[in-house]
Every structure is written in C-alpha cells, then in structure tokens.
Chains A and B, each alone.
Chain A
C-alpha cells in the first residue's frame, strides 16, 4: 500500500484538511496554515467574550476510550469557543469486545447527527480505522491513538516553539525520555521535520527508543548532557510508572539521575532555551520543580496554545469535510 494513504484519507479532493489523524505526509504548508489560524484564535482567547460563532449549530463529540481529563477539557473548551454544541463520552473499553464497542458507539453517535468526533483510544490506528471504515463523512480528530500519534499536541508544541523562537529553520530541538511509548514524540518528530527543523535529537536509554527511530531524521543520544548541548528547545516526555516493570528501567530514581532535567543539566542547552512538557508532569521523575516552574519553562503556555490549536484544527477539518460532502453531492447530481 502506498505511503500516501494517510494523506489521501486526511485531505479532501481540494487538498484541505478533512480528518486530522496524524502528521504523516501532510504538507508543511498545511501545518503552517494550522499555526497561522491558531495564532488568530489565540487573540480570541484574550477577549472579554472568548467565543466566536464559527461552528454554531454543529455538534462535536469527544469520544474518549482512554481517560484524559485534560486533553478532553481543552477539546471541549476549543469546541465551545467555536460555539459548537459539545458532548463528551468516556467509553470503557473493558466492558465488551473493543471493536464492537468502538464501531457501535460511533455509529450511534453518527446517527445523532454528530458533525465531528474527537477520538482518543489506546490502540494505535484507532482514529484511522474510524475515518476509513466507520464514519468517513464525519470529521475525525485524533486526540491520541496508542503509541502512534497525537497530532494536536504535536501542533501545539510547534506553535509554542514558533511563538518563542519565531521559526524552525535554525533550531536544535531535543526530545527527552520515553520515546518508545510516546505518541507525542512521534508527532513532534514528524512536525519538526515537515516545518524544516534541521537538528532534531532524541535522548534516552535504548530500552525507551523505538527500533529504527533514525527514520524520522533524528540524531540519537544516550547521554542527556551531550544531547542537550546548545539546543534551543527541550521537550521532556512523561514517564509512566509502569515502565519500571518488565526490565525497561531499574527505578524512577536511576532514571532521574540519568535523564531528569535539572537546572544544572539545562545549562548545557543555550541560555535562552525553552523547556516544554506535554503534561501532566512527574516532578522529580523526569523534571525538577525548579525547571518546571522556572523562567525557561513554557509548560503553561503550551496549555493556552493547545486550545487555540484545537480551535484551528476543529474549524479547518469541519470546513474541509463540509466542502467534501458538497463536492460529493454535486458529483452525484451530475451523475
């Protein structure tokens, strides 16, 4: 199967965003358009009334098969600020067979005339599956699928970098920690590459680096201090507690000793380097409080930007999906 399946699934016949599933194979220009649009929405967030009527009358369903209060809340807020009606569902995957629940849940919601689904699921490829096989005519936004992708997080990280550094062409960016299990890392690597970042580094022990990570065009470091040398941006990843089982890591303590970001280690980066983290942070496991709350931290800005990015993606995908439906209708009438 050709690599552009991802692309053709995500874009409509005119090349506009229709589903937002992964950053794989999306043109850099489209990513820039998302960032530009998000910039405009950021301004809306500073107004007395933080709401625009763009998606008035549209229904956005957040369907979370994997719990995440924070991501769900920012998607809800984004949809509400676009004046959409929002429903959020937490669906337990354990109750029945996964596939049936997913398929039936979404078909049911589609029958209630939902215009857009934001889906989070513990299986890689779940959002693709829904866009391809379940509800191709409803805009699908991937709110995180397994280890595969978290494209809105990727884009909000890019917005954070652009707003603090202005561009990507001369930047060194280091991504630190559990790359193997991280959909955020995968989306960030793809986004940085597409936006022209020349020096992307991943830092971690071999147990937490995916086989063939070089395919993303990144440089691999096992030593934190060495990897941080003269970087402009440090993206720390969350370390899940369960990684201590199964021999991936001996202990949180040893991980912190080797890969925890402290003020001292941060000095290897450029003096004006910014520190990012997708949250929620584990203080004292992957990052020291003094860094997380320090002057170089932009972790809270990321949250603000996250709403603007989601507003941009929601409105662009709604627009592209609507246009595609119109095109299909016109084609049918002609036929």
Chain B
C-alpha cells in the first residue's frame, strides 16, 4: 500500500477548513492539537493557512478510558490552553482517527475547561475503524488497514507517515 504524503494532503485540508469555517461564519476560531501527532499536524496546518494563532495543546492521558487496562501514560504532560474556551469556536486537530476514543477523551477534557460554541474536528487520516459515532469534518485521506497494521506519524518537520506491521505474538 502506498501511503499519502502529509505535505500533499495539507493544502487541500487547509482550503477545505477555510471554506468550512467561512460557511459557518466562524471568524475567530481557536486551534487545539492533541498531543503528540495532532500538535504537529495543527502546526503544519496553521502554517499552510498562513496563521500565527497561539495554539492550544491537549494531553488526554487523564481522560482515557483504558486506564484500568493500560495504566497511566508515564510521560503525561500538562494540557495548555492559552485562551478561554467558553462560548468560543474550536478546531480540534488530531493525526490519525481510529476508534474515536481519543477524540471522546479530548471532548470530555475540553468541556472541563468550559462550554465551547462549537468544535470542528480535523484529522490527517481516517482509518475507518470507528467504534464511536465520531467522524472528522475535515480529513486528509481515508485508508483501510489490515488487522495487523498500524500507521505512525513522525514529525514535527517533515511530517511523514509510516506503515507498521504488528509482529504476531
């Protein structure tokens, strides 16, 4: 399988996002990346859109629903939102949308900061493996992976996608 190049997906995503926001008359969106890959994608996207907004960063470790299975992520870092979100329009950005659980955790965390007016979801890739009713508003590409395959994003510059095959254990 040939993987798309993030650099080629970004211009299209930027354009679609701009249109999307304009259609909804959202003039002052706030951008939030989900640690770690989502932050890289958000940075690249903002650059592509020619914006230099202060971006928010979410670490959803405290909100994950797999704590009892996997425990606490040892490198958990603080979330940083340099703006109030109450009544604001947010653009939430992640790298790869799989089950949707990370986005669920991120939405829960966001609502602990306040009540946003809206949240727009942007993902570089959608793997069509959703376990929750969560779909991106803007997506770079949609891929279907085998059961033993995973996608890993490396970054921040250049952004590159890599296909990993889980060794049978």
Chain A contact residues, CB within 8 Å of chain B: 16, 33, 36-37, 39-44, 47-49, 51-55, 315-316, 319-320, 322-323, 326
User: Is there an interface contact between A323 and B71, defined as CB atoms closer than 8 Å?
Assistant: yes
- In B80-137, which residues have CB < 8 Å from any A CB? 80, 108-109, 111-114
User: Is there an interface contact between B63 and A53, defined as CB atoms closer than 8 Å?
Assistant: yes
Instruction: Output the nearest chain A residue to B105 by Cβ-Cβ distance.
Output: A53
Bound-state CA distance A47–B59 (Å) is 14
User: Is there an interface contact between B72 and A316, defined as CB atoms closer than 8 Å?
Assistant: yes
Q: Which residues of B contact A49 (CB under 8 A)?
A: 111-113
Which DSSP category, helix, strand, loop or mixed, fits chain A's interface?
helix
Say which residue of A54, A316, A323, A326 sits within 8 Å of B62 (CB atoms). Answer: A54
Q: How far in angstroms is the closest Cβ of chain B from A41? A: 8
Q: Give the A-B pair count, Cβ closer than 8 A.
A: 56
Given the known A-B contacts A48-B113, A49-B113, are A40 and B62 also in contact in the complex, defined by CB atoms under 8 Å?
yes
Q: Which residues of B contact A323 (CB under 8 A)?
A: 71
User: Is there an interface contact between A43 and B63, defined as CB atoms closer than 8 Å?
Assistant: no
Chain B contact residues, CB within 8 Å of chain A: 59, 61-63, 67-69, 71-72, 74-80, 108-109, 111-114
Q: Which residues of B contact A326 (CB under 8 A)?
A: 69
User: Is there an interface contact between B108 and A40, defined as CB atoms closer than 8 Å?
Assistant: no
Q: Which residues of A contact B77 (CB under 8 A)?
A: 36, 39-40
User: Is there an interface contact between A43 and B80, defined as CB atoms closer than 8 Å?
Assistant: yes
User: Is there an interface contact between A47 and B112, defined as CB atoms closer than 8 Å?
Assistant: yes
Given contacts A40-B76, A48-B113, 9 further A-B contacts (CB under 8 A): A40-B61, A42-B78, A43-B79, A49-B112, A51-B112, A54-B67, A315-B62, A320-B71, A326-B69
Instruction: Output the nearest chain B residue to A323 by Cβ-Cβ distance.
Output: B71
Given the known A-B contacts A43-B78, A53-B62, are A37 and B72 also in contact in the complex, defined by CB atoms under 8 Å?
yes
Q: Which residues of A contact B71 (CB under 8 A)?
A: 16, 319-320, 322-323
Q: How far in angstroms is the closest Cβ of chain A from B77? A: 6
Q: Which residues of A contact B61 (CB under 8 A)?
A: 40
Bound-state CA distance A326–B61 (Å) is 20
Q: How far in angstroms is the closest Cβ of chain B from A57? A: 8
Q: Give 7 pairs: A residue, B residue, CB < 8 Å, sorted on A.
A: A40-B59, A40-B77, A49-B111, A51-B112, A55-B67, A319-B72, A322-B71
Q: How far in angstroms is the closest Cβ of chain A from B92? A: 17
Q: Which residues of A contact B111 (CB under 8 A)?
A: 49
Q: Which residues of A contact B62 (CB under 8 A)?
A: 40-41, 44, 52-54, 315
Q: How far in angstroms is the closest Cβ of chain A from B30? A: 16
Instruction: Output the nearest chain B residue to A55 by Cβ-Cβ distance.
Output: B67
Q: How far in angstroms is the closest Cβ of chain A from B81? A: 9
Q: How far in angstroms is the closest Cβ of chain B from A84? A: 11
Q: Which residues of A contact B112 (CB under 8 A)?
A: 47-49, 51-52
Q: Which residues of A contact B72 (CB under 8 A)?
A: 37, 54, 315-316, 319
Q: Which residues of B contact A40 (CB under 8 A)?
A: 59, 61-62, 76-79
Instruction: Output the nearest chain A residue to B79 by Cβ-Cβ distance.
Output: A43
Per CB-CB distance, the 4 closest pairs between chain A and chain B, nearest first, are A319-B71, A43-B78, A49-B112, A52-B62
Q: How far in angstroms is the closest Cβ of chain A from B23? A: 30
User: Is there an interface contact between A322 and B59, defined as CB atoms closer than 8 Å?
Assistant: no
Q: How far in angstroms is the closest Cβ of chain B from A174? A: 31
Q: How far in angstroms is the closest Cβ of chain B from A295? A: 26
Bound-state CA distance A36–B114 (Å) is 25
Q: Which residues of B contact A315 (CB under 8 A)?
A: 62, 67, 72
Instruction: Output the nearest chain A residue to B81 by Cβ-Cβ distance.
Output: A47
Say which residue of A16, A48, A51, A319 sits within 8 Å of B67 (CB atoms). Answer: A319
Instruction: Output the nearest chain B residue to A16 by Cβ-Cβ distance.
Output: B71
Instruction: Output the nearest chain B residue to A315 by Cβ-Cβ distance.
Output: B72
